[in-house]
């Protein structure tokens, strides 16, 4: 049975064509405020109240937009797949796997201003494997194999339920089919471990702003699967 990761029935109303057009207007207001130095969350609350946006709509905008300064910084640190030959990459495991589960479940995805693809799936410390999980892992590993990376580090958050099961599934899915070295670790603080790292694979905006360089894998996966994402800005 398809668990439809990230699916909420109300999203059909929240992200109808008419609703998205209203969200784009609201996003322009929020962008003006954050480029003037206002906090993103506070700006979203203020503008969201004015436009009477739902919590899901506000979250979609918050995950999609970024200030000009942040966009420039992220763009300057971005690596292409063609630059990964022989390199070591670091994957924010739950962040990337869950987004790809959402993609493979045909649930809502958003094209963000920094080029990443993000979702609205709420982890909140609880996670379970779904039928799409193995295919999501395989998609990641296949792309990295094609890019001829030298080593892949996949970091999973220890506080999240079933992190051990996901680690086992990744190892089983990888088997001996790939040429790169694979290291799967369960850590207490994945985010801080990725700060300052080169070749980080995540769509987490805070990590993007603290790592040394990153790869936009979610966007590549969207293209390969010929899926669509919504733009709310």
Is the model's pLDDT at 2 over the cut of 70?
A: no
Q: CA-to-CA distance for 203 and 117, rounded, in angstroms?
A: 7
| Element containing residue 201 per DSSP (H, E) | strand 200-201
Q: Are 140 and 98 spatial neighbours (Cβ–Cβ below 8 Å)?
A: no
Instruction: Indicate the angle between helix axes 93-104 and 163-174, nearest 10 degrees.
Output: 70
pLDDT digits over 47-106, tens only?
999 999 999 999 999 999 999 999 999 999 999 999 999 999 999 999 999 999 999 999
- Residue 3's pLDDT band, with cuts at 50, 70 and 90, is low
Q: Are 207 and 122 spatial neighbours (Cβ–Cβ below 8 Å)?
A: no
Q: CA-to-CA distance for 50 and 61, rounded, in angstroms?
A: 14
Which of 151, 153, 201, 154 has its CA nearest to residue 180? Answer: 151
- Residue 6's pLDDT band, with cuts at 50, 70 and 90, is confident
| 151-157 and 181-187 beta bridge pairing | parallel
Start-to-end C-alpha separation, the chain: 34
Strand blocks (E) in 5-135 = 78-79, 88-92, 110-111, 117-118
Q: Look at residue 192 in the predicted model and tell me its pLDDT.
A: 97
Q: What is the distance, to the nearest Å, from the Cα of residue 227 to the centroid of all Cα atoms in its chain?
A: 15
Q: Are 35 and 68 spatial neighbours (Cβ–Cβ below 8 Å)?
A: yes
| Element containing residue 197 per DSSP (H, E) | none
pLDDT digits over 190-233, tens only?
999 999 999 999 999 999 999 999 999 999 999 999 999 999 99
pLDDT digits over 161-197, tens only?
999 999 999 999 999 999 999 999 999 999 999 999 9
**What is the rounded (10 degree) CA torsion for 173, 120, 190, 44?**
160
Q: What is the pTM of this model?
A: 0.94
Q: CA-to-CA distance for 44 and 21, rounded, in angstroms?
A: 16
pLDDT digits over 110-153, tens only?
999 999 999 999 776 789 999 999 999 999 999 999 999 999 99
Task: Compute how many other C-beta atoms are within 10 angstroms of the C-beta atom of residue 21.
Answer: 10
Q: Look at residue 224 in the predicted model and tell me its pLDDT.
A: 96
In this structure, what token pair is assigned to residue 106?
């045909």
């Amino acid at each position: 049975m398809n668990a439809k990761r990230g699916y909420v029935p109300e999203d059909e109303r929240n992200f109808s064509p008419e609703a998205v057009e209203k969200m784009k207007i609201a996003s322009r207001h929020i962008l003006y405020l954050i480029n003037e130095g206002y906090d993103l969350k506070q700006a979203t609350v203020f503008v969201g109240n004015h436009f009477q946006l739902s919590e899901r709509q506000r979250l979609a905008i918050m995950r999609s937009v970024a200030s000009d300064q942040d966009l420039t910084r992220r763009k300057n640190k971005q690596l292409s797949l063609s630059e990964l030959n022989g390199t070591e990459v670091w994957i924010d495991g739950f962040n990337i796997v869950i987004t790809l589960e959402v993609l493979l479940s045909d649930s809502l995805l958003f094209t963000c201003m920094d080029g990443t693809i993000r979702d609205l799936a709420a982890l909140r410390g609880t996670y379970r494997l779904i039928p799409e999980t193995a295919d999501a892992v395989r998609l990641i590993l296949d792309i990295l194999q094609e890019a001829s990376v030298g080593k892949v580090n996949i970091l999973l958050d220890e506080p999240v339920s079933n992190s051990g099961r996901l680690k086992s599934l990744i190892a089983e899915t990888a088997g001996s089919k790939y040429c790169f070295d694979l290291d799967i670790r369960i850590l207490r603080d994945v985010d801080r471990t990725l700060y300052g790292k080169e070749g980080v694979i995540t769509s987490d905006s805070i990590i993007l702003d603290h790592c040394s360089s990153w790869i936009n894998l979610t966007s590549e996966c969207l293209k390969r699967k010929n899926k669509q994402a919504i733009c709310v800005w």
